[in-house]
Chains A and B, each alone.
Chain A
Amino acid sequence: MPSRKHYSVLALAATTSLLLAACGAPAGTPVVQTVVVTQEVVKEVEKEKVVEITATPVPEWTTPHPILSDIRVRQAIAYCTDREKLIESVYGYLPEEDRKKLLMDTFIPKDSVWYARNVDPNANIVDYPYDPEKGKALLEEAGWKLPQGGSIRVNDKGEPLALRFTTTNAPFRQTWGAVFVSQLQQCGIQLLPSYIPGSIWFGGNSGLRRRDFELGAFAWVGETEPPGVTLYACDQIPRPDNGWQGQNYMGWCNERASTAIKQANNTLNDAERKRLYAIVQEEFSKDMISLPLFQRLEATAHNKELKGLKADPTEYYTASIADWELPGKDTVIIALGQEPASLFLLQESAAVATIVGQTVFGTLYTQYSYGFQPVLLEGDQFPTIENGGAQNVEVEVQEGDLVVNADGDVGTLKGGKLIDREGNELSLKGKDINGNEVEIKAGVKLPQLTVTYKFKPHKWSDGEPVKKADWELGYKVACDRESGAVSFFTCDRVVSHEVLDDNSYRVVYAKGYQPPTYYLPPFGYYPSHQKLADGRTLAEVPPKEFKNLKEVTDTPLGTGPYRIKEWQRGQRIVLEANPNFWKGEPKIKNVIFQVFEGGPAGAVAALLQGTVDVVGKEVLGAGQELQTVIEEANKGTIVAEPMGSPTWEHVDFNLNVR
């Protein structure tokens, strides 16, 4: 144990740091700022008799950007950008009216139910139509004047209005990027383009994640649940002192938006959530910290004989595979852009794994058109507070309880402090059932959610009915730290999980945890009866072995419309119809997932040759092949319905410099 004397040294250093900070010590000098004390540091102190401990000064990334911190410049860039021309540069083959549908003006696509104008047509969204004159006027007002005979604006110090524009070297981005650069040039803004490899731009320790940009272009993938908490909240700005956590790469902190987005993710009232998201969209467009450009175009192309395929921006086409029909053929061949690394879906979340997974495991619910639809849930309805399937009641917090605070962090209340799994102290700010702020302490009342998930009776593909032990095994594996599961986010917020019978289980969530999508079943199941090659049943296998079991990763038993017959690594996965599927055996008897790792061109060639029946949106991407299938579809040789993707391109403005 460290001696009292050494603690005194640390305390002195910490106090000194506060004093110096209060005195406003000049930046750049090696001042004592914070002390990160670990046991090992203290040991070191003892051994070496250290007299002073200081923290390494860390760059804060809080200094306003000399150009982009001025809202007039950002708005000018928005007015100087002709987004329709950007869309035309990459999707010139689309009719003009279709191109216009891709335009974005907030961070939520226009076809989403969460888009502010879908909630209220008079929502206060600020539009930025192409108006270079207005843009130029704003720049003049901001002090950026065009010198006599010059083409780049300068300020009164003679500094040019030049900004770095960083994005990936993908041909798609380079194409619209070049148009963007020339459009801003017309307004006297010089962009210095830097098209770098995706591995650098999206690298773990470089590019975007280190906020190493001024103007940065990339795409976000929209989700059924609206995004935003990690993108736009004030405490999500990546900086060295928080380990670069968060995705608010712009460094945008708007208290109204930040509060609204947090509240939107911590209330169960959908109408209230829509109102809150509208607030965020208003502030987002007003502050112009990120210029939304356009939704990408996507299409799922398929054999024109194939019926029943449902293409949708937020759901995979295989969600409807049980209903497909292919007259005259007993096999449907689907192109995969890459091979799933594993079908152990607790570990694997790539699109290809989900696509194959939906075929083998089926789906408990679907996510069509930015919404959720029950599939295997009893009575075809989700358990909600309104229908009595869930209860949200106020309960008193006790010492030792698992509690979620207003930031969404979970911890255990110990000695008046909220302590997380790592032993870190968390904020004691909580929210009561009405959304009012309360201090988390013993005796205070917080909402607690209890949900009972009920399912239709159904069978595994080997004919064995799904039973209680299967759901218990599902929870056990999903929440075992050694199982190889990637995320324990929900597990960490569960107080109890009780399997009631063969077709239902009840979950009691931590006090204060108010997930908006509480009605979605959080845990799945495993066939506890499945016999393994070594003679054990799956129920007898420790969770830590699951990730290495071929019976789990390669040939899992499921309850979906098809079952795996053979997986030839690197080539294809062959499946056959499941006669025990709860909706009845599918009409198409076989499914083959053919791997096309050489790029989409091979898959498209195979589709045109008739050796493949479906090429999904995740294979086609946004390049030349997309154009090819749309043109072929127009000729009538195949079917390909283009639609706005939930993936949308935008340009972020970095409001800070190092």
Chain B
Amino acid sequence: MANYLVRRFILVFVMAFVVSLASFVLLYSAPGGPLEQLVALQSTTRRPDPDEIERIMKRYDLDLNLFVRYLRWLTGHPRGPIVIGGQEVFGDLQVGCLKEGQARLVYPDGRVVEINCAKPVFLRDLADRPTGNGVIRLDFGRSQQLAREQPVIELIESRLGNTLLLMGLSTFFAIALSIPIGIYSAVKQYSRFDYFFTTLTFFGSGMPTLFTGVMGILVFALLFQRLGLPYLPAGLVESNRDAVVPLLGTIKAGSFADRLWHLILPVAVLTFFNLAGWTRFIRSSMLEVLRQDYVRTARAKGVVERLVILKHALRNALIPFVTLLAGVLPTLFGGAIITESVFNWSGIGRLFINALVASDYPVAIAYVLISTFLTLIGFILSDVLYTVVDPRIRLS
């Protein structure tokens, strides 16, 4: 077991490294980026000076080769020339280019070398640049766009609580509801109840949260309010001013009741969406188990049907369900991008989308990296949980 876990954890770090490299290279190769912000400043009455562009490039390391930039982001190094015994080494090593050039050298042997850099950046130039401690020391750098120059980790922390609350509650309700519905649908297969919930869950999984969210706002927020019925808020985490709701009375802004009031609609939308998949999973798993010999044997022995289902069938039906829980961990962190956007829920998912739209790469990569890490940890957890719920399984 210990060996297995060590191997898996090593694999987690290797995988996280590969993902970080891939996301870093892909994002920085995409069009847009911090320089766009400067270009956007280019007014119709003047254009940015070349040194304005160069200053932005230096500030965000955009003048460095992608690999050097990645190294500095990952490890916080290199920070200048290497000093050995008081002597600078590799100070003249070119690590980037601040301004492209347009010259070509033709050598006597026929070689042609493009000189594409008019202002090269050398290792020694990095000495006077501000540098973070690197992702390996949990320093994800500073935001380039959304909260300019503020640490990424602070930005994530500011949204984490809201996301955990939303995702935790919706996941809890989805699981709590899907298990009994799935069991009952399986036990009463092809009954009216089964047909009703099968239809409902298909509808739930088929309808994107964008649709159910907007419909929820239109009906339960706007329409209900206009009809004088008890209504729900159209979005946000909490109110800015007290609200008077028919039948419910005054809901004080920022109170516990207010937070709860704002949670109802987004949690309901997410629960409805997640319920579908999980109910179907439990139902099919239960159906499979209910056809097993040992269940038939239990029934033949005269065990009460309730015990057969809950003790013999359900315990075994839940084993594959554990694999689904592996996916819950990154979801709890990652949030629900669409739902958070529809309800203006200030969470991590929306932060990620905003970071992508604004080309705030340090924030976007931090999100991808943390999600990757949690997904991999989730896999390990599910493996371990397997051994707990099913004694037949041993990790080696």
Residues of A in contact with B (beta carbons under 8 Å apart): 34-38, 40-41, 44-45, 48-56, 58, 199-200, 202-206, 209, 220-221, 223, 225, 227-231, 236, 241, 243, 245-247, 265, 329, 331, 333, 338-339, 341-342, 344, 347-349, 408, 421-422, 481, 484, 486-489, 492, 547-548, 553, 568-572, 592, 594-599, 601-602, 605-606, 608-609, 611
Contact = CB atoms under 8 A, between A and B. Distances in A.
Contacts of B84: none
B176 to A, nearest CB: 28
Nearest to B114: A56
Contacts of B154: 569
A339 B147 contact: yes
B145 A341 contact: yes
Contacts of A595: 344, 346
B6 interface: no
B133 to A, nearest CB: 15
Closest 4 CB pairs of A and B: A227-B44, A598-B341, A570-B346, A203-B31
Q: Tell me the interface secondary structure of chain B in the complex.
A: mixed
Contacts of A422: 50-51
A220 B222 CA distance: 36
B158 interface: yes
Contacts of B51: 421-422, 488
B225 A609 contact: yes
Given A488-B52, A608-B222, A50 B149 contact: no
The interface centre, meaning the residue of A246, A342, A408 with most chain B CB atoms within 10 A of its CB, is A342
A595 B347 CA distance: 12
A149 B49 CA distance: 55
A41 B105 contact: yes
10 contacts: A36-B118, A41-B103, A44-B113, A50-B107, A52-B106, A54-B103, A223-B44, A553-B148, A553-B150, A569-B155
B228 interface: no
Interface string B87-130: 00000000000001111111110000111011110000000000
A199 B33 CA distance: 9
A349 to B, nearest CB: 6
A569 B147 contact: yes
Contacts of B145: 341
Contact of A606 (B107, B118, B148, B234): B234
B305 interface: no
Contacts of A547: 148-149
A606 B235 contact: yes
Nearest to B157: A569
A486 B147 contact: no
Given A49-B108, A246-B47, 4 more contacts: A36-B102, A48-B105, A422-B50, A570-B351
B31 to A, nearest CB: 4
B341 A206 contact: no
Nearest to B234: A605
B102 A40 contact: no
Interface stretch (B35-43, B375-383, B385-393): B35-43
Interface in B41-82: 41-52, 55-56, 59
Interface stretch (B179-187, B238-246, B312-320): B238-246
Contact of B43 (A223, A333, A492): A223
B245 to A, nearest CB: 11
Q: Tell me the interface secondary structure of chain A in the complex.
A: loop
A598 B31 contact: no
A599 B341 contact: yes
B104 A598 contact: no
Contacts of A53: 103-106
B43 A204 contact: no
A443 to B, nearest CB: 29
A571 B46 contact: no
A38 B118 contact: yes
B221 A605 contact: yes
A179 B150 CA distance: 46
Contacts of A56: 102-104, 114
A32 B157 CA distance: 58
B343 interface: yes
Contacts of B354: 338, 597
B233 interface: yes
Contacts of B47: 230, 236, 245-247
B209 interface: no
B208 interface: no
Given A55-B103, A598-B235, A489 B341 contact: no
Given A36-B101, A52-B106, A611-B241, A605 B235 contact: yes
A601 B235 CA distance: 11
Nearest to A353: B148
A335 B217 CA distance: 18
B42 A230 contact: yes
A54 B41 contact: no
A204 B45 contact: no
A206 B30 CA distance: 11
A40 B122 CA distance: 12
B274 interface: no
A606 B240 CA distance: 11
B295 interface: no
Interface in B339-365: 340-344, 346, 350-351, 354, 359
B268 interface: no
B236 interface: yes
A243 B35 CA distance: 15
Contacts of A220: 44
